[in-house]
A and B are shown apart, each in its own frame.
Chain A
């Protein structure tokens, strides 16, 4: 267990990759089943024509499926990079950091439906203000603590 990434055999690697692939496929399978059982819902819709609703449902379902697929890919890449130590330490940190940022944007876009051009201004202002506070506070904390730690040595 403590051997970590270096001591794992090829069999374990394949098994882990298989788990990831199955996990990525599961949502898509569920989604297909869901589309099949849905036809009755549209016909009793309380607004608009059923086919409009059906189209909107497809669009929103597609958005969730795209979101989760992207999320799984953007997760599998950094796990693989770290597992097989594909890059030097510094580049590895840069790569997983960038991939995480991209994935956060994907989650905001596809799951939380934050869509800047069409977004309510208040929400967008709140997000931008929070990001500003977040960068100032987290960055400042790291800076001050690092400086203090350096002085201790």
Chain B
């Protein structure tokens, strides 16, 4: 089992214990990786727009007055922790012989994602209540194009995770579920990377 042979596609390799997915894993993961990279370009352009627009507040409130660092800290901690718990779900898929640990870790991940989305919605509501809704200024438009798009991605990941758990409940851990968990893992870790850039550029950059 040479390491170089083992390391092929992005994400966790399921390895020799899962011969059923070996034939498709590389192709499917690579295809999904192509999608993720194109998604990265969408986010990059929204970041570029935001970076340009951040000072265009049109006489309204700017980042200093609108962002609450405490809430951002909690969101960041929840999302980082959820990336780790999803890693644990991947390991459970690879090593555990029953679906139980996998489902457990997926549930923990969903819980952390719910915390993240809850605080994020609260932030958005706060901004809108302060009179900085999407149509207020160039800054607000750029913000509401970028950050909620990431939130929608997280929500989509949650729906996907619930669908996978339903699949597990009906079919058990079959090939489709294994490939699904692998790709959702890529998606989830990718969203965490986008969030790192969001808290740096949007929140910390805005408050610095």
Contacts and interface: CB of A to CB of B under 8 A. Distances in A.
A27 B79 CA distance: 12
B173 interface: no
Contacts of B64: 2, 4
B162 interface: no
Nearest to A83: B69
A37 B80 CA distance: 24
Nearest to A103: B196
A10 interface: no
A5 B17 contact: no
Contact of A46 (B17, B47, B69, B108): B17
Interface string A12-42: 1000100110010011001100100110111
Instruction: Give the size range of B's interface with the partner.
Output: 35 or more
Interface of A is mostly: helix
A123 B68 contact: no
B28 interface: no
A40 B97 CA distance: 9
Contacts of A47: 16-17
Contacts of B48: 137-139, 141-142, 145
Interface string A41-68: 1101111100001001100110011011
Interface residues of A, number: 75
Contacts of B52: 141-142, 145-146, 149
A138 B81 CA distance: 29
Given A19-B77, A41-B95, A96 B41 contact: no
A137 B45 contact: yes
B186 to A, nearest CB: 7
Interface of B: 1, 3-4, 6-13, 15-17, 26, 30, 33-34, 37-38, 40-41, 44-45, 47-49, 51-52, 64-65, 67-70, 73-74, 76-77, 80-81, 83-85, 87-88, 91, 94-97, 101, 108, 186, 189-190, 192-193, 196-197, 199-201, 204-205, 207-208
5 smallest CB-CB distances across A and B, nearest first, come from A23-B77, A118-B7, A100-B200, A141-B48, A68-B84
Given A119-B7, A123-B10, 8 more contacts: A5-B69, A19-B74, A46-B17, A64-B87, A78-B204, A96-B208, A123-B9, A141-B48
